[in-house]
Amino acid sequence: MAGLMKIAVPVFIASFALAAGKPLPADLLISNARVYTVERSQPWAEAVAIRDGKIVAVGSSDELAKYRGARTRVVDAGQRLIMPGFFDSHIHFLEGSLSLVQLRLDETKNLADIQKAVKAFAEAHPQAAWILGRGWSYSEFGRETLPNKKDLDAVVADRPVLLEGFDGHTYWANSKALALAGVRAETPNPPNGEIVRDPRTGEPTGALKEAAGDLLLKVAPQPSAEERLAALRQGMRLANQAGLTHIINCGNDTPGASDDQFFDLYDRLRRQGELTLRVTMSDYQAPDGLRAEDLKKIEADKRNHPPSDDWLAGGAVKMFLDGVIESHTAALLAPYADDPAKIGSLRWTPDHYKKAVAELDKQGIQVFTHAIGDRAVRLALDAYEEAATRNRTSDARHRIEHIETISAQDIPRFGKLNVIASFQPLHAYPDDDTMNVWLKNAGHEREPRAWAWQSIWKTGGHEAFGSDWPVVTLNPWDGVQNAILRQTREGKPAGGWIPDQRLSLEQAIEGYTLGAAYSVHREHEEGSIKPGKLADLIILNQNLFAIDPRKIAETQVLMTIVGGKIVYESPGLPQAKAATKAQVVP
């Protein structure tokens, strides 16, 4: 009976459409698919018709057959899952792209691994004046949790070595690099940074927290414009291959690496027709105060790249209120659990920060604030609330980035104030770094509200998900899996870490699609599969709704479409056979 109905309905619609005249043929017609649209009114469909870069129809394969013309490219999806293209709502794309040619330490497990990798990289790159790399984590250094220059000197002494921690908040230099930068016992700490020193001698240990890393980066060699462009092209290929169609760049204070300093490169890629990702930019605003010339630059970027631009949108600002839990630089309301003498500190004085937020809010500029400690999160919420009241603005959708800890009373404020919670689900991956360093520092009292995804969601907060690449992989499928499980690949801890904060698959997908689009005022153009929206979609090798969630991280993208154009296509289609092993996505 049900089968009969299924056949009867499309036939009726098809003959009706015929009577009403055939629609303009599609450029691209995807049929025989399982289309998850992320639209509540029509969550599932079988086919999508695309013309002039936009979705023109979503429905059954039979219904949409009428969009087939002589020049229509038809893709038989072989019952594969199709979803809207994924956003990365928080990324450092240029920095990540440049890191692709550097030494990567993401997979090392301990100091010996790191030393081996540094030595091998130095030997393989005899012409490199500096050995630059990234990706070590705090748990690799035992109880101390901070690296020391002598361990690098032991493997490379004749050339400078500078290695960024996985989170981008701490650097590790050898003696040669410290000497070239003139960092000595008597060098004062820069504002918002700490040169870690030997408690007996005062000599720098080689660990450099926060802005102290800039002292070294300033003397390290900078890539040329052509090298940066080449890196961006490589990064775009990886992003498209992972299923990303839109990235939201978060400005930062790393010299020569903040994307907002390189609008011209993105412009060039766009002019040359090479941009295969939609890009939203945010201008980095340094503490401690918004000067007239800062505002001028922000407004110029917004004028040249209006937020409504489909490809390269500006008009947002990124600020840092604090650091990270692991190095005790996140600003907390009460002392750290492992050291009652430490409470972290704010990079902005609260008054200056609130004034800057109010001014930007008044000018219609969206604010993204990095806030990891519960004290920083509260200050950002307070500032957004006061700005809206003072300026009588609404729907500004200011965002808070990371929110690793939060006071219980602040959880419902996201929904109430319509502040976006920008999370990176893989940051809560319960590995050694999280369970031994992060949790030891943050403490068990804060634990139930660590990355409080479900609590903020349930109280009406909008969420947007991303990676923070190069902090973790830009491949979103690891993030989707961790959003649902909060469990390592080895299945630890059983039942997931703080199971109450896990999300459903539908929620996780929404955070990477419609929620992410909403977080930059793009929900009417992107984020779901709906007629009239931009044709950004992906075809996957497996049906996430039918598989064991522990397999989600293995997902491979078979096709990525941006603006109706196929920007990535794997050999797995159209034969729809079992996909081959993934190409390397860092």
Read out DSSP for 432-490?
A: HIIIIIIHHHH-TTTGGGTT-HHHHHHTT--EEE---TTSS-S-HHHHHHHHHH---TT
C-beta closer to Zn ion: residue 253 or 510: 253
Say which amino acid occupies 145.
T
| Environment class of 101 (CB within 10 Å of its CB; exposed 0-12, middle 13-18, buried 19+) | middle
Closest distance of CB 132 from Zn ion, Å:
19
| Environment class of 185 (CB within 10 Å of its CB; exposed 0-12, middle 13-18, buried 19+) | exposed
Choices 75-83, 246-254, 323-331, 481-489 (CB under 5 A): range interacting with Zn ion: 246-254
Choices 9-17, 56-64, 244-252, 520-528 (CB under 5 A): range interacting with Zn ion: 244-252
C-beta closer to Zn ion: residue 27 or 468: 468
CA end-to-end span of the chain, whole Å?
49
**Both structure tokens of 123:** 């030997």
Closest distance of CB 25 from Zn ion, Å:
44
C-beta closer to Zn ion: residue 331 or 540: 331
The shares of helix, strand and coil residues in the chain, as percent rounded to the nearest 5, are: 35, 20, 45
DSSP annotation of 193 reads E
DSSP annotation of 153 reads H
Say which amino acid occupies 396.
A
C-beta closer to Zn ion: residue 250 or 529: 250
Choices 47-55, 225-233, 249-257, 575-583 (CB under 5 A): range interacting with Zn ion: 249-257
Buried b (16+ CB within 10 A) or exposed e, 379-399: bbbbbbbebbeebeeeebbbb
Closest distance of CB 324 from Zn ion, Å:
10
C-beta closer to Zn ion: residue 410 or 468: 468
C-beta closer to Zn ion: residue 67 or 451: 451
From CA 301, how far away is CA 313, in angstroms rounded?
9
The site for Zn ion, by CB under 5 A, has a size of: 2
Closest distance of CB 92 from Zn ion, Å:
6
Closest distance of CB 471 from Zn ion, Å:
6
Q: What are the residues whose beta carbons fall under 8 Å from the beta carbon of 373, sequence distance 6 or more?
A: 322, 325, 330, 331, 332, 333, 344, 404, 405
Q: Which residue has the tokens 């993204």?
A: 368
**Both structure tokens of 18:** 């015929």
Closest distance of CB 91 from Zn ion, Å:
8
Closest distance of CB 492 from Zn ion, Å:
26
**468 lies in the site for Zn ion, by CB under 5 A:** yes
**322 lies in the site for Zn ion, by CB under 5 A:** no
Closest distance of CB 19 from Zn ion, Å:
55
C-beta closer to Zn ion: residue 283 or 468: 468
From CA 462, how far away is CA 471, in angstroms rounded?
23
Closest distance of CB 318 from Zn ion, Å:
8
Choices 80-88, 122-130, 248-256, 295-303 (CB under 5 A): range interacting with Zn ion: 248-256
SS3 category, 133 = strand
C-beta closer to Zn ion: residue 168 or 430: 168
C-beta closer to Zn ion: residue 96 or 160: 96
Choices 33-41, 94-102, 344-352, 460-468 (CB under 5 A): range interacting with Zn ion: 460-468
Say which amino acid occupies 513.
T
C-beta closer to Zn ion: residue 31 or 192: 192
Tell me, residue by residue from 411 to 450, as one string, x for binding to Zn ion by CB under 5 A and - for no binding. ----------------------------------------
C-beta closer to Zn ion: residue 121 or 166: 166
Contact present, 32 and 66 (Cβ < 8 Å): no
C-beta closer to Zn ion: residue 250 or 472: 250
SS3 category, 235 = helix
Closest distance of CB 50 from Zn ion, Å:
33
Alpha helices, DSSP H, located in 220-275:
225-241, 263-271
Say which amino acid occupies 121.
F
From CA 98, how far away is CA 265, in angstroms rounded?
14
Contact present, 541 and 251 (Cβ < 8 Å): no
Choices 47-55, 67-75, 173-181, 461-469 (CB under 5 A): range interacting with Zn ion: 461-469
Closest distance of CB 331 from Zn ion, Å:
17
Closest distance of CB 542 from Zn ion, Å:
30
C-beta closer to Zn ion: residue 259 or 536: 259
Tell me the residue number closest to Zn ion, measured at CB: 468
Dihedral sign, Cα of residue 152, residue 155, residue 157, residue 163: negative
From CA 497, how far away is CA 487, in angstroms rounded?
6
Choices 136-144, 250-258, 325-333, 501-509 (CB under 5 A): range interacting with Zn ion: 250-258
**259 lies in the site for Zn ion, by CB under 5 A:** no
Closest distance of CB 567 from Zn ion, Å:
25
Q: List contacts with Zn ion (CB under 5 A).
A: 250, 468
